[in-house]
A and B are shown apart, each in its own frame.
Chain A
Amino acid sequence: MGPLIPHEILSPEWNNVIAVFIGLAFGFIMEASGFSSSRKLVGVFYGYDFAVLRVFFTAAIVSMIGILYLSKLGYLNFDDLYVQPTYLRSAIIGSVIMGLGFVTGGFCPGTSLCAAGIGKLDGLVFIIGLMIGVVIFSEMFPLLEKTFNADNLGGVTLKDTFGISYEMTTVLFTVIGVIAFYVTTIIGRKIRNVWY
């Protein structure tokens, strides 16, 4: 029963080997989907290319359904999967800053790696920026620590927070995703083409 490495069905030495192969697939899929192009990525914010929304939502829907089925069928113990803690205040503040960084720089960290991987200099500059951002955060940390640790709800899921079952979450998210696919297709037809 999975997850394999935490249950030591696969020895922990494999962890970093698997990491490289997972990364290879991750980078390949993102690049092949066009995520190495900042102009394609930000298209989602201006309505001329919805690839980000389509790839992101499809991936989340597929993995939600897959993980749910694997745990129902007894191949995967859902309770042993890592659920990151929800720190309300820092998650909201950090995400607002990340959204601003997204439209400013045209990448997120994973996609900037893809861009740098195929030789795009703006991707490389974005990565340098990321590192500077980490340094600034760390040097300011004594000032930010209180905000950083505020409102910790622990490793909660929507089931814990709102009492929505995993099944219902998956169904609702899928329905929202399909509506989003439909609406963005219609918007896409109406917006003038931007070549990039």
Chain B
Amino acid sequence: MSYWNEDHKHTYWNPYFGGFMLGLLLIFTFYTTGRGLGASGAMKSTVVFALHEVAPTHVEKSRYYSRFVEKEKSPLNTWLIFEVLGVLAGAFLSGALSGRAKFRLQHSPKITSKRRIIFALLGGILFGFGSQMARGCTSGAALSGLSVMATAGFLTMIVIFGSGYAFAYFFRKNWI
């Protein structure tokens, strides 16, 4: 049976167990730091840091970047950068323990690698843009917002997933 082939062997956690653990982590995060988890903020800090190294005057003059530059403090010295370094290491640890850590490009067998790369890049650009507009992504705005019952949390969750469903039809050939 093809199900038991190596490629199809699922060794993931039960999703309810994963969700329970993530919930406990959110509680711990709010209890210690008073804030939730995040991800997109770290990408923004990285961009601000890199551009500030290359073109400091452009960054300081920019109406947006300049909000995140402080004197005597690197734009990389933020809570989210440290958290994201942990995320990379934590994911690697889990992947390595389950034999999933290896260099590969994952896509549906019906599309080419080139197509997958192009769409991954486009998706990233859109998500990066959208997360700045909405002041946070799925983790920072939606999940953390829900934990404290923020109106913005419910709004972003509903609209992100609603929009995903609305556009899913047009991208079905990439996935199924």
* Residues in chain A within 8 A of chain B (CB atoms): 2-6, 10, 15-34, 36-40, 42, 44-46, 48, 50-51, 54-64, 66-67, 70, 75-76, 78, 80-88, 90-110, 112-123, 125-139, 141-142, 144-145, 147-148, 153, 155-161, 166, 169-170, 173, 181, 194-196
Name 29 A/B residue pairs within 8 A (Cβ), A-sorted: A3-B32, A23-B87, A29-B22, A29-B90, A46-B176, A55-B22, A59-B26, A63-B27, A63-B147, A67-B147, A76-B31, A83-B148, A87-B135, A90-B135, A94-B132, A97-B130, A98-B137, A99-B165, A101-B129, A103-B167, A107-B123, A110-B139, A117-B90, A122-B117, A126-B121, A130-B43, A138-B65, A157-B149, A166-B149
Which of A27, A28, A76, A127 is B43 in contact with, Cβ under 8 Å?
Answer: A127
Quick check: B149 and A64 within 8 Å, CB to CB?
yes
Name B19's closest neighbour in chain A (CB-CB): A58
Contacts of A28 in B (CB 8 A): 90-91, 93-94
The smallest C-beta distance from A5 to any residue of chain B, in angstroms, reads 5
Name B118's closest neighbour in chain A (CB-CB): A125
Name A51's closest neighbour in chain B (CB-CB): B15
Contacts of B134 in A (CB 8 A): 90-91, 93-95, 97-98
Assign chain B's interface to a size class: 35 or more
Quick check: A98 and B127 within 8 Å, CB to CB?
yes
Interface presence of B145 (CB below 8 A): yes
* Residues in chain B within 8 A of chain A (CB atoms): 2, 7-8, 10, 12-13, 15-16, 18-37, 39-40, 43-44, 46-47, 51, 62-65, 77, 79-80, 82-96, 98, 100-108, 116-117, 119-141, 143-156, 159-168, 170-172, 175-176
